Amino acid sequence: MAEKKSKPVSVVTGGAGFLGSHLIDRLLSEGHRVIAIDNLVTGNPANIGHLAGNKDFHFVKHNVSNFIFLPNEKIDYVFHFASPASPIDYLELPIPTLKVGALGTHNTLGLAKDKKATFILASTSECYGDPLVHPQKEDYWGNVNPIGPRGVYDEAKRFAEAMTMAYHRYHKVDTRIVRIFNTYGPRMRLRDGRVVPAFIGQALSGKPLSVFGDGSQTRSFCYVADLIDGIFKLAMSDFHEPVNIGNPREMTIKQFAEEIIRITGARSTIDYKPLPVDDPQVRQPDISRAKKVLGWEPKVRFEEGIKKTIEYFRNALKGAGSN
C-alpha cells in the first residue's frame, strides 16, 4: 500500500478525448495514478478502452460544469482538458462549450485549490483569433470576434485563462497555461470537422477534399506525442505564464491537401468551398518560450506523424465498414 500512496495522483478532465487520452497514457507511463473525468459528449470510451483493468486508472463519468466531488482523494495535479474542441462540436454545442470554459474551469480550479494541487489549463491558439501578428507569441493579445460563431470557444478559453491567473494571483494556486496549436494523430474523431481527419477520411474514401476559401490560409500541425511531451514538461516546471506548444512548420491548407493525396495515394481532387465566418488566415506558433523555459521543441517529422495518423484512420474506416 505504501507504494500506491507515494505515486502522484493526476485528475484529467476530458480524459476520453483525443488529447486527454494521450495525456493519460503519458502520465501512467511516468508513474502517476490517474482519475479521468468525462461526460462523453465528444469523448470516446474506445480511447481509454486499453486501460480497463489498470489499477492506476479510474474513470468517472461526470460533467465538470457541475460540482466535482472527490472527497477522499489525495490529488497532486489537475489537468483541465474538457471542452468541445472542433468547430463542428462547438457550433452544435455553443452553451456547453461556454459553460465548460467558465463553470468547468471554476470547478477544476476549486478542486486544485482544495487539494493544494498544481492546475494545468488546456488553452488554445484560438485565443489569438484571426491574428494580426505572425507568428503568434504569448504576449500577443489576439484579434477575436466575441459575438461571432467561433466566439463561444475563443472567449470561453480566454475567460478560462483569466480565471486561472486570478486563482494564481489571489488564491496562490500553482497554475500552468498551455496554448495548444493544431495537433493531429491517432484517436482523432473521423468526422469532427477538423482538417486532418476531414482530408484523410475523404482521401481514403476516394472523395474530393473540401478546401475552404482558396486554400491559402495556413496552419501548423504538431504530432500528438510531441504536444503531450511539451504539456508534461510544462506541468513539471514552475512557469505560470502561457506557453505556446505546437509545431512552427507552417503550410497552406492547399499544400496540406496535396500532401494527403500524395501520401495516401488517393485519386481525389480538391473541391473549393466558401470560407467559414472568422476562419483564421494564418496560424503559426512562436515557440521561443517553450524552447527556453522547457527545453522543448517538436521532434516528429510531418511525413512520419501523418503516416501513423493515416494508418489509424484506415483501420477506423475498415472497422466502421464491418459494423
In this predicted structure, the answer to whether residue 2 has a pLDDT above a threshold of 80 is no
3-state secondary structure of 281: coil
Give me the pLDDT at residue 313, please: 95
Which pLDDT score is estimated for 116?
Answer: 98
Asked if 181 and 125 touch (Cβ cutoff 8 Å), the reply is: yes
Give the three cell numbers for residue 232: 508534461
Q: How far, rounded to the nearest angstrom, does the alpha carbon of residue 308 sit from its chain's CA centroid?
A: 18
Q: Domain ranges for the chain, please list them.
A: 7-184+223-247+285-299
pLDDT band at 156 (very low <50, low <70, confident <90, very high): very high
Using one digit for the tens of pLDDT, what is the confidence trace for 32-66? 999 999 999 999 999 999 999 999 999 999 999 99
In the numeric block, the cell 462549450 is attached to 97
- pLDDT above 50 (res 1): no
Compute the distance between CA of residue 162 and CA of residue 156 in angstroms, rounded to an integer: 10
User: Given the DSSP bridges, would you call strands 118-124 and 77-80 parallel, antiparallel or unpaired?
Assistant: parallel
Q: Which of 94-98, 143-147, 160-164, 277-281 comes out lowest in average pLDDT?
A: 277-281
Range list of H helices, the chain = 2-6, 18-29, 87-92, 94-115, 151-171, 195-204, 224-235, 253-264, 288-289, 302-322
pLDDT at 4 (0 to 100): 47
The catalytic site residues sit at: 153
pLDDT at position 177, please? Answer: 98
* Angstrom distance (rounded) from CA 200 to CA 204: 6
The overall average pLDDT reported for the chain is: 94
Q: Does domain 7-184+223-247+285-299 have CATH number 3.40.50.720?
A: yes
Q: What are phi and psi of 44, to 5 degrees?
A: -130, 120
Of the CA atoms within 13 Å of residue 154, those in its CB half-sphere come to 21
Please report the pLDDT score of residue 277 as a whole number. Answer: 77
State whether residue 37 is helix, strand or coil.
strand
Torsion sign across C-alpha atoms 223, 314, 47, 157: positive
pLDDT given at position 87 = 86
- pLDDT, mean of residues 95-106: 98
Task: Give the predicted TM-score (pTM) of the model.
Answer: 0.94
% the chain with pLDDT above 70: 97
pLDDT in tens, 195-235: 999 999 999 999 999 999 999 999 999 999 999 999 999 99
Any idea what the Cα angle at residue 305 is, between residues 161 and 290, rounded to 5°? 35
Cα dihedral 288→290→292→298 (10° resolution): -90
The rounded distance, in Å, linking the Cα atoms of 114 and 103 is 16
Cell of 29: 507511463
Cite the DSSP H helix spans in 116-184. 151-171
Confidence category of residue 182, pLDDT binned at 50, 70, 90: very high
3-state helix, strand, coil in the chain (%, to 5): 45, 20, 40
Q: What angle do CA 29, 30, 31 make, to 5 degrees?
A: 90
Q: 6 pLDDT band (50/70/90 cuts)?
A: confident
In which band, very low, low, confident or very high, does the pLDDT at 321 lie, cut at 50, 70 and 90? low
| Entry field: residues in the chain | 323
The CA-based dihedral angle spanning residues 267, 270, 276, 282, taken in that order and rounded to the nearest 10 degrees: 100
Q: Is the pLDDT of residue 322 over 90?
A: no
Residue 198 phi/psi, 5-degree rounding, is -60, -50
| DSSP assignment string, 230-265 | HHHHHHTS---SEEEES---EEEHHHHHHHHHHHHT
Local structure of residue 183 (DSSP, 8 states)? E
pLDDT of residue 194: 86
Is pLDDT of 254 > 50? yes
* Predicted local confidence at residue 27, as pLDDT: 98
**3 state DSSP class of 204:** helix
Alpha helices (H) in 16-65, listed in sequence order = 18-29
Residue 164 has pLDDT above 90, yes or no: yes
**Host H or E run for residue 53:** none
229-248 residue pLDDT tens = 999 999 999 999 999 999 99
